Structure 1
Amino acid sequence: MDAALEFDTSHIRLQDRPLIVCDVDDVVLHFFAPFLTFLDGEGHEFLPRSFRLTGNIVSKLNGTALEEKDVHRLIDTFFEAQERWQTPFDRVVDTLGDFSRDADIVFLTAMPPQFWAQRRRLLDRLGLAYPLLASLQPKGPIVRSLHAERALPVAFVDDMAHNLHSVSEHVPDCLLINLKPDSIVHRMAPSAPAGISEANEWSQAAPLLRAHIIR
């Protein structure tokens, strides 16, 4: 079954104006840097050997790599406590606030849905009170479901190549921006497909969005 049919976006009410769909972790909120600090407090560390968490998170006590189930447990524990750990990227609050005058903004976060409430509270506290979708499903069908067949500009901002590729397949006219921090894990990440705009911070992404959204 098409993932767009499995994930309900009908509760998101868009106005008759452009749409910006934006990832959250390491795009709006810092994820990897605070996660490393969290791991240290749990007695673990990340070894930058490849673009994977499983196999590269090891015990500081004996150097043993954690099993996949234990890595997932740590990530879940981090998301449970995200309100104490995650902070916004520079200029993201003001930048999205400026765009919200001309476009609808929807957050689409690749996070287990059971942590939606914690993320909602954190974003609201930071002044980022835009609609939030939390799903581990492919993002392309979700963005297609959101935008539907509207003849209006749409843009998608994410730090991961596979999410950008998914949206490119399902929403061909979408502006894609690969916005990612200069972290040890992102340096090992797969490159985004050719032709996708790249940015390391919101001051670089904003002009790209402005040129596409405001025509």
Structure 2
Amino acid sequence: MIADEIREQIDAIGIERGRPLLISDADEVLFAFMAGLESYLQGEGLSFDFSSFAITGNVKDADGMALDREAVRSHLGVFFERHTEALDPVEHAAETLAELSKEAQIIVLSNIPLAQRGARARALARHGMDYPLIANEGAKGPAVRLLHDRAAAPAVFIDDIPHNHASVRDHAEDVHRLHFVADTRLARLIPQAEHCHARADTWLEARPIIERHLFGG
């Protein structure tokens, strides 16, 4: 089941049937989310302990005590509200997407609050990645399924979160799933997602994998 607000965003895109499709996450794929979050936390007198691939449990106060889930959620809300538009791009993301877009249609599928969709779109445009954006909520499989059905063409899905790969496997099994974690500190904390097809943590590594599955090269 796909939420009405997500379906409406997809309806507005105008997907080209038969053209290869690249569906990309934003945070830790196109934008350096973790670096931005860490800077925000430091400004709040907090720190991030890279002990595991999770946010809850790793945000610490000045005494080294972990913030509880609700406090972390509150800080994430403030961070997205204030800093979504200011995140730095991941190296080589814009150049690689520009080359791929000559033959493929590119859609950014980001789990970001709908209220910050405009800020994310402006950030994408400012950094040369002005592609259709869907502000998703929850697991990404249903949205990927609808996008793939409408494109009716080879598709690649890129995301840093393992459960999103599992969701896409469950809902859109034919979509090639590429696990990508741009921040090297986070990348070291998590192995290749169980339900993806491949892992690449830089766009230089990712490009040939994407081209092979979209274009048969």
Equivalent residue number for residue 3 of structure 1: 2
| Distance apart, 1:188 and its partner CA | 2.7
Equivalent residue number for residue 39 of structure 2: 37
Equivalent residue number for residue 204 of structure 2: 203
Query: Residue 36 of structure 1 aligns to which amino acid in structure 2?
Result: E
Q: CA RMSD in A?
A: 1.9
Q: In structure 2, how many angstroms separate the alpha carbons of the residues matched to 1:50 and 1:79?
A: 22
Structure 2 stretches of 5 or more lacking a match? none
Aligned length: 213
Query: Residue 198 of structure 1 aligns to which amino acid in structure 2?
Result: R
SS in 1 for 2:188: helix
| Distance apart, 1:182 and its partner CA | 4.5
Query: Residue 43 of structure 1 aligns to which amino acid in structure 2?
Result: G
SS in 2 for 1:177: strand
| Distance apart, 1:37 and its partner CA | 1.6
For the Cα contact (< 8 Å) 2:162–2:179, is it kept in 1?
yes
Q: Which structure shows the higher helix fraction?
A: 2
Give identity over the alignment, percent.
Answer: 34
Q: In structure 2, how many angstroms separate the alpha carbons of the residues matched to 1:4 and 1:197?
A: 29
Q: In structure 2, how many angstroms separate the alpha carbons of the residues matched to 1:63 and 1:195?
A: 35
Q: In structure 2, how many angstroms separate the alpha carbons of the residues matched to 1:190 and 1:3?
A: 29
| TM norm structure 2 | 0.90
Query: Residue 23 of structure 1 aligns to which amino acid in structure 2?
Result: D
Could you list the per-position Cα deviations for residues 123-172 of structure 1 after superposition, in whole angstroms to 9, with x for gaps in the alignment? Answer: 11111110001122210110111121654111101111111111111111
1:55-134 aligned at under 5 Å gives the runs 55-60=57-62, 62-83=63-84, 85-134=86-135
* Structure 1 residues 87 and 6: CA distance shift in structure 2, 3 A: closer
| Distance apart, 1:186 and its partner CA | 3.6
* Structure 1 residues 195 and 141: CA distance shift in structure 2, 3 A: closer
| TM norm structure 1 | 0.91
Q: In structure 1, how many angstroms separate the alpha carbons of the residues matched to 2:55 and 2:163?
A: 16
